[in-house]
Amino acid sequence: MKIVPTAFQALFPSSPVENLEPERDRVYIIETLLKNASLKAWRWMLTNYSSAEISSVIKRAKSLKKRDVLLWSYLLQIPQKEILCLQTKFPAGLNSSWVY
């Protein structure tokens, strides 16, 4: 597997890309690229990680937002009910857990 290109450093502000190992840091790298990447970075991700690996991260990630995953759920044919970050956090109509 290739190394993370130094051109992607701006996408990883809290980690020097030369310290990232694509296999060891797979979840962190995929989540980061799903959140704020360019087409070039997405191409790199698709070349270096399988659809199954990307799907697995999308399904389990809690930090991703709806806008981050909707396109990928369509492209990778992931049912939205299987994506954790798309599930509602509170029952409908419940605005607060505090009783006033």
pLDDT digits (tens, 9 = 90+) for 9-68: 999 988 999 999 999 999 999 999 999 888 999 999 999 999 999 999 999 998 888 888
Question: Is position 68 within any domain?
Answer: yes
The model carries a pTM of 0.83
Band the pLDDT of 4: cuts 50, 70, 90: very high
Question: Is position 48 within any domain?
Answer: yes
Domain count along the chain: 1
Question: Is position 99 within any domain?
Answer: no
Question: Is position 35 within any domain?
Answer: yes
- Give the DSSP letter of residue 2: P
Domain that holds residue 42: 6-86
Question: Is position 23 within any domain?
Answer: yes
Question: Is position 20 within any domain?
Answer: yes
Cα–Cα distance between 87 and 15 in angstroms, integer? 29
Are the C-beta atoms of 53 and 41 separated by less than 8 Å? no
Are the C-beta atoms of 86 and 59 separated by less than 8 Å? no
Joined tokens for residue 38: 């360019």
Question: Is position 58 within any domain?
Answer: yes
Q: What pLDDT was estimated at residue 91?
A: 52
Work out the average pLDDT over 91-95: 53
